[in-house]
């Protein structure tokens, strides 16, 4: 794509529109009792994770792997057999381990362990799973150049992904961590004398470790799971991440 045509196409992506939101889950490794974990999730995210279906359960397990252990938002009050969600939802989905819940006295909170649920003592210190609504990201494993990926995302979704916070970076890395590939195109490109998100979002944080003046033609930024990513040759064929409309 010629420079003038590329510039026109980039500008066309700056119009604002509503993006889809989806619930994402985060693994918090700091060990806390259930009440402390609930307070931490409400402060840092939205709440302890609720699980509405098998797909969402898989998302939770992907944050650490199937051996992960941690609190979720399911609990019951003392002397009650009714299970409730911390955020107030009414999901009836359950994934109890064999013989669970065993209703042992005092086991009024729920942990995920080895992919299944156990009722457990709320005062035990464990990691936890928190949730928050975020912009929906779609990983495309078909490989393309950066400009081809940009056209694909704008044709089929909204745009190449922009990562506006550490939380969005974590979500993106979780998603590519279960896909096949090392580097993945994002919407970050070096234009003129600065890096910019091509959808017009503000680049206002520095966790991406960007080269201040990258050598041509390494002017397109790709995400990796470790470390965060690198500026790459824009004609390289990579998978990519789109933002859903």
Tell me what pLDDT residue 78 has: 81
The answer to whether residues 240 and 16 touch, using CB atoms and an 8 Å cutoff, is no
Tell me what pLDDT residue 3 has: 52
Phi, psi of 58 (to 5 degrees): -65, -40
Domains (range + CATH), the chain: 3-20+136-243 (3.10.100.10), 22-132 (3.10.100.10)
Q: Considering only 8-17, 88-97, 133-142, 228-237, which range has the smallest mean pLDDT? A: 8-17
Tell me what pLDDT residue 4 has: 46
Instruction: Record the pTM.
Output: 0.76
pLDDT tens for each residue of 34-91: 999 999 999 999 999 999 999 999 989 888 755 679 999 999 988 788 999 999 988 8
Q: Determine the Cα–Cα distance for residues 15 and 83; give it in Å rounded to an integer.
A: 45
Listed in order, strand segments (DSSP E) in the chain are: 21-32, 47-48, 69-75, 84-85, 109-113, 116-120, 126-135, 137-144, 159-160, 184-191, 194-197, 220-223, 229-232, 238-243
């Amino acid at each position: 794509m010629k420079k003038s045509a590329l510039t026109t196409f980039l500008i066309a992506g700056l119009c604002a529109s509503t993006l889809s939101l989806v619930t994402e889950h985060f693994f918090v490794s700091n060990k806390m009792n259930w009440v402390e974990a609930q307070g931490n999730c409400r402060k840092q995210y939205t709440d302890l994770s609720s699980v509405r279906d098998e797909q969402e359960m898989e998302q939770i397990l992907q944050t650490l792997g199937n051996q992960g252990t941690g609190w979720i938002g399911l609990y019951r009050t003392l002397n009650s057999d009714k299970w409730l969600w911390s955020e107030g939802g009414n999901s009836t989905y359950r994934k109890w381990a064999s013989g669970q819940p065993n209703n042992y006295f005092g086991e009024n909170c729920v942990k995920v362990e080895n992919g299944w649920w156990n009722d457990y003592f709320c005062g035990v210190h464990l990691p936890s799973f928190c949730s928050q609504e975020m912009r929906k990201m779609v990983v495309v494993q078909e490989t393309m150049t950066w400009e081809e990926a940009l056209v694909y995302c704008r044709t089929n979704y909204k745009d190449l992904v922009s990562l506006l916070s550490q939380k969005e970076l974590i979500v993106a890395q979780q998603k590519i961590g279960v896909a096949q590939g090392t580097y993945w195109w994002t919407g970050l490109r070096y234009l003129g004398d600065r890096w910019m998100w091509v959808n017009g979002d503000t680049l206002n944080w520095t966790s991406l470790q960007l080269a201040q003046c990258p050598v041509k033609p390494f002017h397109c930024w790709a995400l990796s799971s470790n470390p965060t990513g690198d500026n790459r040759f824009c004609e390289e064929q990579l998978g990519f991440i789109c933002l859903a409309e």
